[in-house]
Amino acid sequence: MALLFVYGSLKQGFPNEHVNGGRRIAGEYRTQERYRLYLLGPGDVPCLVAPPVAGHQVIGELYEVDDDDLRRTDRLERIGEPQGYERVEIMVERFDASPVVSLQVLVYLKQDRSIAASVERIGPFPEYKQEHAA
């Protein structure tokens, strides 16, 4: 089993939650480092952009996932395709507990250099919300 941090459409109550077959882990989580969370392109697709720089500690949800869950989400995120995401390890914090707990997790993101300059970027945001998905 692995831990997967989701910040966009894979979150509970969002359009692709049906693809996320993991078990949600209780708590409130955010990235340890500051990332840029944008809505990209004509579909306003949520995307965490690396490398971590000035931006936000992005808030998301944490799931325990198995290999089948990762295969499904890898397909959705187009891992290995030219315009797809990368699945990498980052550190997140559970910030509703004292002391703050840090965990190494998997996340889907894109490298800034892989996003064409012509792609519209809205943001950055600290959190993907229902109004963004609308």
Catalytic residue list: 77
Tell me which residue has tokens 């690396």.
50
CB 123 within 8 A of CB 37: yes
Measuring CA to CA, how many Å separate 38 from each of 5, 31, 100?
Answer: 16, 15, 26
Q: Rg of the chain's alpha carbons, rounded to an integer?
A: 14
Distances (CA, A) of 63 to 24, 66, 80, 106: 4, 10, 22, 10
d(CA 38, CA 96): 25
